[in-house]
């Protein structure tokens, strides 16, 4: 089996999708290809998300929000959206999931930690499913 590619999509690609991509890269290593993008990317990663991930031992400080492209969706085997609604193009034969997660933008550190921990749990389950 070829290495699966997972695309995480949220509106700004500055919090949830960046944290999910960070966990997947860290926990899956080279077993899974990881992409992230946003329908309306911000100019930088949410600093509270960067801090929360650093507490978990994962550095996302140098990541840059990226614009969601049709090609990114085409390249992916699994597309996980996080509150971006209908902004993500749908292609037959792909696995789509919508993770309902609070947006960490403007939230305090305790709230962002809770979102981070929820994302980690979901990413661990995803790794188990994709590498079984």
Please return the burial class of 29, using the count of CB atoms within 10 Å of its CB with bins 0-12, 13-18 and 19+: exposed
**Helix, strand, or coil here: 80?**
strand
Nearest 5 degrees, angle CA 25-CA 28-CA 32? 80
Give the residue numbers annotated as catalytic, written as ranges.
Answer: 10, 84, 88
The Cα 6–Cα 10 span in angstroms is 13
- Strand-strand pairing, 33-38 and 95-98: unpaired
The Cα 42–Cα 30 span in angstroms is 28
């Amino acid at each position: 089996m070829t290495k699966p590619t997972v695309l995480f999509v949220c509106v700004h690609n500055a919090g949830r999708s960046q944290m999910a991509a960070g966990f997947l890269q860290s926990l899956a290593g080279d077993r899974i290809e990881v992409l992230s993008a946003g329908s309306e990317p911000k100019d930088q990663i949410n600093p509270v998300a960067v801090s929360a991930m650093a507490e978990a031992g994962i550095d996302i400080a140098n990541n840059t929000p990226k614009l969601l492209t049709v090609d990114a969706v085409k390249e992916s085997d699994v597309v996980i959206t996080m509150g971006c609604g209908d902004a993500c193009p749908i292609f037959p034969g792909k696995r789509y999931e919508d993770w309902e997660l609070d947006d960490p933008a403007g939230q305090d550190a305790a709230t962002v930690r809770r979102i981070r921990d929820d994302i980690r749990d979901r990413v661990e389950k995803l790794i188990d499913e994709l590498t079984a």
